[in-house]
Amino acid sequence: MLRNFCTRALLLALVNVQAVLAARPDGFLAYHHKMPPDLLNDVAQNKSIRLIVRYYDAAIDTEIQGLERHPQQDKQFKTNVMAFKSQRYRELKDRATAKMDRKRFNIDRDYSHLPMNVVTVKGETGLLGLLANPAVAEVFRDVELHHFLAQSAPLIRSPDVLSQTGYDGSDTMVVVLDTGVNYTLFDFGSCNAPGLPSSCRVKVAQDLAAQDNALDDNGHGTNVSGIVAGIAKGTQLAVFDVFDGASASSSVVIQGINWAIANQLTYKISAINMSLGDSSQNASLCSHSFSNPFVAPISGAFSAGILTVIASGNSGFSTGLAMPACTPQAVSVGAVYDSNVGGLNWGICTDNLTAADMVACFSNSASYLSLLAPGALITAAGNTLGGTSQAAPHVAAAIAVLRGARPSESVTGTLNRLTSTGVRIADSRNNLTFPRIDILAALGSVNDNFANDTVLSGTTDQSITTINAITSTQFSTKEVGEPNHAGNVGGKSVWFAWVAPAVGNVSIDTHGSSFDTLLAVYTGSSVSALTTVASNNNDGSANGSSGLGFVATAGTTYKIAVDGFNGASGNVVLNLTFDTNIGANGGSSTQVPAMPPWSLLVMAFGFVGISVAVVRHRN
Ligand SMILES: [Ca+2]
Ligand SMILES: [Ca+2]
Ligand SMILES: [Ca+2]
Ligand SMILES: [Ca+2]
């Protein structure tokens, strides 16, 4: 009996905190799952508090999910779905807030495309009235965020890995939520106003926080925007000043995310960049924390086709990311040095030595960190800064480039490109490895489709020209109507085109490729109506490589397909040798008419470290 009593006493002690809550006449216990545990302190003595509120209705959620899974996803359909969602969220919020006691409840801010708004409630009664509303799913404090450490330092170049590709993020937009942007700078098109002149890269620039009458009163946003503009030289920008001095309210930042969702279809927004956060250390994804109001907004952006890129934070944590980088579906980004910049003291930590691809000591890391990118030291728009703030916009720009190249790819597919092709970098602090973005590798084989073939051309030197192209077939596909190359079903083809400059012997092989290849050469202008010139699966060389030869006709365009046996994929090495010795003149190389020295241009964007080589014979 006594023992039983002791056990019950212990249990009572353990539940003491809840018991106190339960004992309250106002019955907050029933709603503890909707609010941060210590929120009651904020409304003591009838104080007012501003809260971000998320509303939920299961029936609306089911309706929306059904529409988002609908097979028809053209622009008109997406526009209709977006309008429908906005309308349903409007109805949900109107219904819920109509019942509120206006003396204790005020709506401060609304988000047109999220099931959320920002309200002020007064005292325990006001808070309880809000929580008791069945449509209210949870409430968050409107926490203040800051932009991450920025340090001026001597100049290093801003890496521009896109200089050799045609893809620059054209026909996309990146939304930057920061301290604003000085769009009058040359980097943005020397604009007079957003979108003026029409070449101005910044199409939208607004203060969402209190108007400070400055384009950028800090310089942080201009640097971050400049990195995006410099890496994705074709993308447009919408830059919102979400900072009031040195801090940004979550509710204002969410306003920027809402704008991106509402305008995704208008501007083809591919990414949101948030080089901001708090100082918290989150060892795992912060999906169920009353301290993170960004879960629903970032999820909303994701389903609208927008990736939200967030700096991991500069606290030097090796086992945790800041909020909101910790949010599920956020693309969190840590920083590496882009070169040896000597020793650097960051205040919070010191790197005595630095080197390219070394993780910076300030860069927050955790097992779930998405990506690494250059973040120290980056000069952009006339300002040199270092931090995860500078790493994030490299990723936002990379996303713009990838989405510009493949606008209809899923955002999951785009992210997978970056994570699966990135260079693996070890973080010596926690012995974890993370992918450092490699935009060229992530672009994959841009010559996947027949219509996008990579044109091979080269300098001929007397009679023999050899061209080597390297590309990756990792993300390639087989098109409708595409023939089986060399008699095998394949599945991941890439296409090259080559115009024979004269009559001659052509030898093509895939020697050196990393997988069992199929090779076929065709003439014709449609993937479903091709005439086979030659094809081969295995020519007896290593790894199931392929090789073939034929006599080329002057001026004919040959379409060359490389696929993988039974859908295998990897890095393709394509070697083409053209010999005019058997040509019309029929004589030796010295009798071939001199040809103009065409400059070699192999537009093979597919794989990092593309090598293009002309082997000159018979000089
Ligand atoms: Ca401003
Ligand atoms: Ca401001
Ligand atoms: Ca293909
Ligand atoms: Ca083969």
Given a cut of 60, whether residue 608 has pLDDT beyond it is no
Question: CA 64, CA 502: separation in Å to the nearest integer?
Answer: 60
| pLDDT tens per residue across span 259-306 | 999 999 999 999 999 999 999 999 999 987 678 999 999 999 999 999
> What is the distance between the alpha carbons of residues 315 and 236, in angstroms, rounded to a whole number?
31
- What pLDDT, on the 0 to 100 scale, is given for residue 422? 86
Ligand nearest to the CA of 568: 4
Return the pLDDT at 550. 96
Q: 545 alpha carbon to ligand 4 midpoint, in Å? A: 5
Q: Which residues surround ligand 2, an ion (CB under 5 A)?
A: 209, 212, 241, 243
Confidence (pLDDT) at 615 = 26
According to DSSP, the residues that pair with 121 across neighbouring strands are 49, 105
Residue 595 has pLDDT above 80, yes or no: no
pLDDT at 605 over 60: no
Write phi, then psi, for 488 (nearest 5 degrees). Answer: -120, 150
- Residue 15 pLDDT level (bands cut at 50, 70, 90): very low
pLDDT value for 277: 94
Closest CA to 154 of 316, 388, 343: 343
What whole-number distance in Å separates Cα of residue 567 and Cα of residue 560? 17
How far does the centroid of ligand 3 lie from the alpha carbon of residue 448, in Å? 4
Of the listed ligands, the closest to the CA of 515 is 4
**Nearest partner of 53 among 71, 31, 76, 85, judged by Cα:** 31
| Number of residues written out for the chain | 619
pLDDT digits (tens, 9 = 90+) for 354-378: 998 999 999 999 999 999 999 887 7
What lies within 8 Å, CB to CB, of 14 at 6+ separation is: none
Q: Which residues contact 594 (CB under 8 A, 6 or more apart)?
A: none
Ion ligand 4: residues, Cβ under 5 Å: 516-517, 537-538, 544, 565
- Which of 409, 162, 175, 133 lies closest to 297 in space, CA to CA? 175
> How many Å lie between the centroid of ligand 2 and the Cα of residue 387?
20
* Residue 178 appears among annotated catalytic residues: yes
Average pLDDT, the chain: 84
Q: Return the higher-pLDDT residue of 31 and 548.
A: 548
Domains of the chain: which residue ranges? 24-142, 146-439, 450-614
Please report the pLDDT score of residue 283 as a whole number.
96
Cα 177 to middle of ligand 1, angstroms: 11
Q: Give the C-alpha separation, 243 to 43, whole Å.
A: 26
User: What are the φ/ψ torsions at residue 131 (nearest 5 degrees)?
Assistant: -65, -30
Task: Give 493-527 pLDDT, tens digit per residue.
Answer: 999 999 998 899 999 999 999 899 999 999 999 99
Render pLDDT for 151-199 as a digit per residue (tens, 0 to 9).
Answer: 322 222 223 334 334 678 889 999 999 999 999 999 999 999 999 999 9
For residues 81 and 73, give the distance between their C-alpha atoms in angstroms, rounded to a whole number: 9
Q: Are strands 383-385 and 378-380 parallel, antiparallel or unpaired?
A: antiparallel
Tokens of 452: 């996008």
63-90 mean pLDDT: 90
450-614 matches 146-439 in CATH topology: no
C-alpha distances in Å from residue 23, one per residue of 29, 122, 228, 530: 9, 21, 55, 81
Instruction: Provide mean pLDDT across the span 418-429.
Output: 91
pLDDT at residue 141 greater than cutoff 70: yes
3-state SS record for 262-279: HCHHHHCEEEEEECEECC
Burial 109-144 (b: 16+ CB within 10 A, else e): bbbebbbbbbbebbbbbbbbbbbebebbbbbbbbbe
576, two tokens: 């083409």
Residues paired with residue 560 on neighbouring β-strands, in sequence order: 496, 521
pLDDT-based confidence at residue 17 (cuts at 50, 70, 90):
very low
Q: Is 617 marked active-site?
A: no
Q: What is the pLDDT of residue 580?
A: 86
- Calculate how far, in angstroms, residue 511's C-alpha sits from the geometric centre of ligand 3: 20
Strand order in the sheet with 504-509: 547-552, 504-509, 571-579, 464-472, 613-614
468 token code pair: 């080597």
Which letter, b or e, does each residue of 575-612 get, where b requires 16 or more Cβ atoms within 10 Å of its Cβ? bbbbbbbebeeeeebeebeeeeeeeeebbbbbbbebeb
- Distance from the alpha carbon of residue 176 to the mean position of ligand 1, in angstroms: 13
- Relative to the alpha carbon of 475, which ligand is closest? 3
- Please tell me the distance between residue 517's alpha carbon and the centre of ligand 4 in angstroms: 4
- Residue 7: the pLDDT is 36
The pLDDT, as a whole number, for residue 461 is 60
Q: Helix 58-68 crosses helix 75-98 at what angle (to 10 degrees)?
A: 170
**In the predicted model, is pLDDT for residue 19 greater than 90?**
no
Average of per-residue pLDDT across 95-114: 94
Whether the CB-CB separation of 359 and 365 falls below 8 Å is answered with yes
Lowest mean pLDDT among 144-153, 579-588, 595-604: 595-604
Q: Is 511 a catalytic residue?
A: no
> Residue 206 C-alpha to ligand 2 middle, in angstroms?
9
pLDDT in the model for residue 152:
25
Distance 614 CA to ligand 4 centre (A): 25
CA 558 to ligand 3 centroid distance, Å = 16
Please tell me the distance from the alpha carbon of residue 428 to that of residue 21, in angstroms, as a whole number: 46
**Given the residues 113, 220, 394, 485, the one annotated as active site:** 220
* Ligand 3 midpoint to CA 480 (Å): 10
Mean pLDDT of 527-554: 96
Domain 450-614 classification at class level? mainly beta
Q: Which ligand is nearest to the CA of 210?
A: 2
The answer to whether residue 11 scores a pLDDT higher than 50 is no
Residue whose structure tokens are 């599945």: 491
Q: How far is the CA of 300 from the centre of ligand 2 (A)?
A: 25
- 249's CB contacts (< 8 A; 6+ apart) are 142, 143, 144, 145, 209, 242
Active-site annotation holder among 178, 187, 351, 438: 178
Better-scored residue on pLDDT, 609 or 231: 231
Identify the pLDDT of residue 264: 97
For residue 148, what pLDDT is reported?
Answer: 62
Distance 295 CA to ligand 2 centre (A): 24
What integer is the mean pLDDT of 304-309?
97
Amino acid at 588: S
**Half-sphere exposure of residue 1, counting CA atoms within 13 Å on the CB side?**
0
Separation between Cα atoms, residue 157 and residue 605, nearest integer Å:
23
pLDDT band at 573 (very low <50, low <70, confident <90, very high): confident
Lowest mean pLDDT among 442-446, 520-524, 566-570, 605-609: 605-609
User: Cβ distance 471 to 610 under 8 Å?
Assistant: yes
For position 609, what pLDDT does the model report? 23
Homologous superfamily (CATH) of 146-439 is: Peptidase S8/S53 domain (3.40.50.200)
Given the residues 332, 389, 472, 545, the one annotated as active site:
389
Is the pLDDT confidence value at 6 over 50?
no
Average pLDDT of span 135-161:
60
